[in-house]
Amino acid sequence: MTSPQQQPSAGQETGNPERRGIKKGLYLIPSAFTAANISMGFFAVMASLRGFQLVDDGNAADLQRAAEHFDNAAKAICWAVLFDMLDGRIARMTKTTTEIGVQFDSIADVLTFGIAPAVLAYAWGYGSALAEGSWSHKLGWFLSFMYLMCGAFRLARFNVQAARPRILAEGVAKVDKKNFIGLPIPPAAALIAAIIHFSPMPLIHYEPRYSHLYSGLMMALVGCLGALMVSTLRYSSLKTFGTGSRSARLAILLVAAVGMLIYLFSEYVLLIFVSIYVLHGLLLRLGVLFRRRSS
């Protein structure tokens, strides 16, 4: 007969169900951040549409209200970038990465970083500043659509590359975790959002010559971002940032400093940081080409 000391506990009899429950709960955390990403994208689209409705009225009070909606939409996209960074990092840290989670994240990115910034750029900029039906207005439609298509293609290519690791010379399959091929879609969307957050007043507010000039520049930016996403330029993934034991404390201090700067001077800091990231892929490629010519 088994003594009380030798009898297995309830947790031992069921194979530690408490731990199993905790493990299952961990799988919900990355999906929760992805859901927050989608909610920010939906909010950005709705705020952009509301701002576009107010722009049509044309008076100063409605334009100011439209600027507030556009600014809120831009902030939502920037918040979504943070949620997108956290869901993948948390999934890797807790080892709860799943195939459905990867696909869920890609669908969320198409909405939040594809459709939302394309609609925001159109509603805030050339959609209202340029005459409807003109060739420049139609070009704006086309560039916004191509931005969305390039972003969707970029996400599809990333999923394929992640599923099929490149084969190294020694015959070992390995995923390049340090670099992305092509500009990732979140910083592309973040640059559009950062510009509008810096100056949320719709372009129709300015004189016609300036509104047309700024509309042309925004259209050119949208087209360039689409081209960068489908390019073969290498961009740092930042996935290894702060993972080393020596750099962990420095990473924490740097993140805290950047977070405070964004809180105090978000209009300037976001625009500067995102612009540097978008440009660094081009600068690295130019540096490689320059070294090849000089050697």
- 10-residue stretch averages of pLDDT, the chain, 295 residues long: 49 49 64 91 96 83 93 96 84 72 87 96 92 90 95 89 58 61 94 96 91 94 95 82 63 84 91 94 83 74
DSSP H/E element including 173: strand 173-174
Whole-number Å distance between alpha carbons of 283 and 234: 10
Q: Say if strands 166-167 and 173-174 run parallel, antiparallel, or are unpaired.
A: antiparallel
Mean pLDDT over the full length of the chain = 83
The alpha carbons of the chain give a radius of gyration, in whole angstroms, of 23
For residues 128 and 126, give the distance between their C-alpha atoms in angstroms, rounded to a whole number: 5
pLDDT attached to residue 48: 96
- What's the pLDDT at 26? 64
Q: Whole-angstrom Cα distance, residue 75 to residue 194?
A: 8
Is residue 78 packed enough to be buried (19+ CB in 10 Å), middle (13-18) or exposed (0-12)?
buried
Tokens of 197: 């957050």
pLDDT at 221: 96
pTM: 0.84
Note the pLDDT of residue 168.
43
Q: Work out the number of other CB atoms within 10 angstroms of the CB of residue 29.
A: 16
Q: What integer pLDDT is reported at residue 291 of this predicted model? A: 78
* Residue range 67-88, pLDDT digits in tens: 999 999 999 999 999 998 887 7
Please say whether the beta carbons of 40 and 112 come within 8 A.
yes
